[in-house]
């Protein structure tokens, strides 16, 4: 539990399913799953123009140093405004630009080292301005220094804003470190709707990936007895539905569609916090994405956005479910979407579904399906396929479908 926690708000189980995302900070409730869930995030602020509210959001830290982190891209998107808003309100700020030049920012030893080396003594709050990488780096630093952090979201591109895991590169391998939850999550839709379309579609792919992820969780519950929470599942499903219902508005950067997307991404992070692990948001589709990413980085190449790869991996995993459905109970069949359903949802939002669109060659794609279950020690549909000696046949069949001569 974080050292800066002050209080939690008791609610009943039914309330959580009808709450708006901005009201979910500091909630606590007894659940039908037998556990008491709580979310140790102090403030969640989503909506138009909310960056202007940063002095109010960080009012408890006005007399302390604020360490602002951004890269050259997120500085232009929102970092300059964050700096100006806080300085105008008499906050003392120190800024660090994690400049990666023409390359994407990789959260490796060099970038993390620079971040730590420029941290000044007496800092009271870390403010990261960015999305996946900067959020992961800031939460890692927060957990090691015991300094709380706030994330100002610049793109609705991934679901880690409200999660406590921090995937970083160490020795060429992607390792998910246990970190900490944010003090505050600030999502300004005026900023996020202007994010590169590829990042918006990455967020959409990440959300669509929850459809196979939840089926994976149910599968593990049925076959291994792993803990499972129906309330958390319903919470995630409700968020997914809002995004799916507004999917065609994403390409037009409609404010409502973007707002539902960032709310869903944040809410799935909340679900991870409530569950105490990433089960509500990460299944075999994420294992494929992580596998491909590690291999691409090991080659010295820039990886595609995580959510884009998740979106591409999701119909692949849905097809694995299709191929294995004779081996699992009806409850899993009811949750698992078909590959065709997933492809339709992706196409209608303008999101990529072909591995070639993410720069994945045939062998890497095939090896990912074959070996993706080794990425994490967590039971998934891939493990069942391995156990039943079907994985090679399924991997070859799916690969041939995507890479027809």
Q: Which residue has the higher pLDDT, 294 or 183?
A: 183
**Average pLDDT value over all residues in the chain:** 92
CA atoms within 13 A on the CB side of 57: 29
- At residue 3, the pLDDT reads 37
Q: Which of 174-183, 184-193, 232-241 has the lowest mean pLDDT?
A: 174-183
Which pLDDT band, with edges at 50, 70 and 90, does 167 fall under? confident
Q: Which of 10-24, 174-188, 304-318, 345-359 has the lowest mean pLDDT?
A: 10-24
Q: Residue 76: helix, strand or coil by DSSP?
A: helix
pLDDT at 4 over 70: no
Which pLDDT band, with edges at 50, 70 and 90, does 144 fall under? very high
For the stretch 296-333, pLDDT in tens is 988 888 889 999 999 999 999 999 999 999 999 999 99
Nearest CA to 273 out of 21, 62, 77 is that of 21
- At residue 160, the pLDDT reads 84
pLDDT at 218 over 60: yes
197-226+279-402 is classed in which CATH architecture? Answer: Up-down Bundle (1.20)
Please list, in sequence order, all residues whose beta carbon lies within 8 angstroms of the beta carbon of residue 70, skipping any fewer than 6 positions away: 78, 79, 82, 95, 96, 97, 98, 128, 129, 130, 134
Share of the chain above pLDDT 90, in %: 75
Please list, in sequence order, all residues whose beta carbon lies within 8 angstroms of the beta carbon of residue 2, skipping any fewer than 6 positions away: 40, 148, 180, 181
- At residue 5, the pLDDT reads 44
- At residue 370, the pLDDT reads 97
Please list, in sequence order, all residues whose beta carbon lies within 8 angstroms of the beta carbon of residue 340, skipping any fewer than 6 positions away: none
- At residue 11, the pLDDT reads 56
Which pLDDT band, with edges at 50, 70 and 90, does 2 fall under? very low
Which pLDDT band, with edges at 50, 70 and 90, does 38 fall under? confident
For the stretch 225-271, pLDDT in tens is 999 999 999 999 999 999 999 999 999 999 999 999 999 999 998 89
How is the chain split into domains, by residue range?
Answer: 9-192, 197-226+279-402
- At residue 281, the pLDDT reads 93
- Within 10 Å of residue 10's Cβ, how many Cβ atoms? 12
- At residue 1, the pLDDT reads 32
Mean pLDDT on 32-40 = 88
- At residue 80, the pLDDT reads 96
Highest mean pLDDT range out of 38-42, 103-107, 292-296?
292-296
pLDDT at 34 over 60: yes
CA dist list (Å): 341 to 233, 324, 336, 345:
20, 17, 10, 6
For the stretch 56-77, pLDDT in tens is 999 999 999 999 999 999 999 9
CATH 3.40.50.1970 fits 9-192, yes or no: yes
Nearest CA to 214 out of 245, 176, 240, 242 is that of 240
- At residue 405, the pLDDT reads 53
């Amino acid at each position: 539990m974080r050292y800066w926690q002050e209080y939690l708000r008791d609610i009943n189980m039914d309330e959580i399913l009808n709450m708006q995302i901005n009201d979910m900070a500091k909630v606590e409730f007894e659940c039908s799953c037998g556990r008491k869930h709580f979310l140790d995030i102090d403030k969640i602020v989503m909506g138009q123009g909310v960056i202007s509210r940063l002095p109010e959001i960080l009012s408890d830290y006005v007399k302390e140093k604020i360490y602002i982190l951004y890269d050259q891209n997120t500085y232009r998107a929102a970092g300059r405004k964050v700096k100006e808003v806080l300085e105008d309100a008499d906050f003392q700020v120190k800024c660090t630009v994690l400049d990666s030049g023409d390359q994407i920012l990789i959260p490796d030893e060099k970038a993390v080292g620079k971040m730590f080396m420029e941290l000044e003594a007496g800092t009271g709050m870390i403010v990261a301005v960015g999305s996946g990488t900067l959020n992961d780096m800031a939460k890692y630093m927060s957990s090691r220094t015991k300094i709380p952090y706030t994330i100002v979201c610049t793109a609705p591109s991934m679901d880690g804003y409200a999660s406590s895991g921090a995937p970083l590169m160490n020795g060429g391998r992607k390792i998910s470190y246990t970190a900490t939850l944010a003090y505050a999550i600030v999502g300004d839709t005026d900023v996020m709707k202007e994010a590169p379309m590829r990042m918006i579609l990455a967020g959409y792919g990440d959300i669509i990936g929850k459809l196979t992820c939840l089926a994976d969780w149910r599968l593990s519950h049925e076959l291994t007895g792993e803990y499972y929470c129906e309330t958390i599942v319903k919470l995630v499903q409700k968020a997914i539905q809002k995004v799916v219902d507004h999917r065609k508005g994403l390409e037009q950067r409609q404010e409502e569609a973007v707002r539902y997307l960032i709310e869903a991404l944040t809410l799935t992070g909340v679900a991870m916090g409530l569950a105490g692990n990433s089960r509500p948001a990460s299944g075999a589709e994420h294992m494929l994405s992580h596998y491909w990413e590690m291999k691409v980085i090991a080659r010295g190449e820039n990886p595609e956005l995580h959510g884009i790869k998740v979106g591409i991996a999701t119909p692949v995993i849905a097809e694995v479910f299709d191929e294995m459905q004779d081996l699992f109970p009806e409850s899993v069949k009811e949750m698992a979407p078909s590959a065709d359903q997933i492809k339709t949802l992706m196409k209608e939002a303008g999101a990529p579904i072909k591995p070639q669109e993410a720069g994945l060659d045939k062998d890497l794609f095939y090896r990912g399906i074959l070996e993706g279950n080794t990425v994490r020690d967590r039971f998934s549909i891939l493990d069942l396929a391995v156990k039943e000696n079907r994985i090679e046949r399924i991997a070859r069949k799916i690969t041939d479908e995507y890479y027809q001569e």
